Amino acid sequence: MPEGHTVHRTAGEFRKKFQGREVAVTSPQGRFTDSVLIDQTKLLSASAWGKQLFLEFESATLRIHLGIYGKWRFESHEGELPEPRGQVRARFANTDYFADLRGPTACELVDADQLADVKSKLGPDPLRPDPKGEELERFVNRVAKSTSPIGQLLMNQNVLAGVGNVYRAELLFRARINPHRPGKALTREQIAGIWFDAVALMPLGVKTGLMLTREGFLKGRPKKDVRYYVYKREGLPCRECGSSVVIELMATRKLYYCAHCQK
């Protein structure tokens, strides 16, 4: 499942290629019948909150959640549009670009009340501006009051929006925090430290399209086998202590950590 930085990159692509212009919106697959309600209307804004993408058109707002299988294809074109590849739920096009959406969990128009309801259930997003520190406090308070393991809390989009399996594993390793520790067992400084680390690392993902988390490999385009401390390194020596990286299941999702460094 794409993590939050990918969705923020997609919002940026829409702002760059479609915002302020009329967009032809169709559903080659035929499942997004409400496309007719926003077809040939102007895209006013594109924004992301966690793993949710919101496209505000003149006539309505479109909410998109890629889920596990959803994918985007952005391309430039001249003249006639190419035939869709595969089952395209929605196509967005103007005279210069098109974007094809395949396999999303959600692609639906929402009214103002529905939009407010969706956003009210989303946790703080480290990639959204937080000039007054209100989202930091919201995150700290939600974690500090919970008896759930911190490894599970970081995957809860009501607690922290946009973080998935990769950032979860790497943020906890960088903080030297065991993923099984209850949220309420962490100090406020530890919880805030996770937030500030996410605020520092996740913009690199927006900029580069890569999840870069390992010191010394935060620039350029390093290969996958050197980018991470523990993610997908089960059975391999920890880069810091040499102990074997552990893999477990936590709430049906794979969990990677070093039991020695993250006591």
Here the tokens at position 245 are 């990286």
Query: CA 19, 115, 142: angle at the middle one, nearest 5?
Result: 115
3-state secondary structure of 175: helix
From 17, 51, 89, 227, the catalytic residue: 51
Q: What is the CATH number of domain 4-120?
A: 3.20.190.10
Beta strand 41-49 pairing with 253-257: unpaired
CB 5 within 8 A of CB 162: yes
Q: What is the pTM of this model?
A: 0.95
Q: How far is CA 38 from CA 2, 20, 33, 68, in A?
A: 26, 14, 11, 26
Domain ranges in the chain?
Answer: 4-120, 134-257
In the chain, what is the greatest distance between 2 CA atoms, to the nearest angstrom? 60
* 13 classed as catalytic: no
Residue 230 has pLDDT above 90, yes or no: yes
* 3 classed as catalytic: yes
* 222 classed as catalytic: no
The secondary structure of residue 21, as a DSSP letter, is: S
Here the tokens at position 174 are 């960088």
- pLDDT score of 1: 79
pLDDT in tens, 123-155: 999 999 999 999 999 999 999 999 999 999 999
CATH of range 134-257; options 3.40.50.720, 3.40.50.300, 2.60.40.1840, 1.10.8.50: 1.10.8.50
* 2 classed as catalytic: yes
From 128, 181, 214, 253, the catalytic residue: 253
1 or 175: whose pLDDT is higher? 175
The secondary structure of residue 84, as a DSSP letter, is: P
Beta strand 52-57 pairing with 88-93: unpaired
Helices (H) and strands (E) in the chain, counts: 7, 10
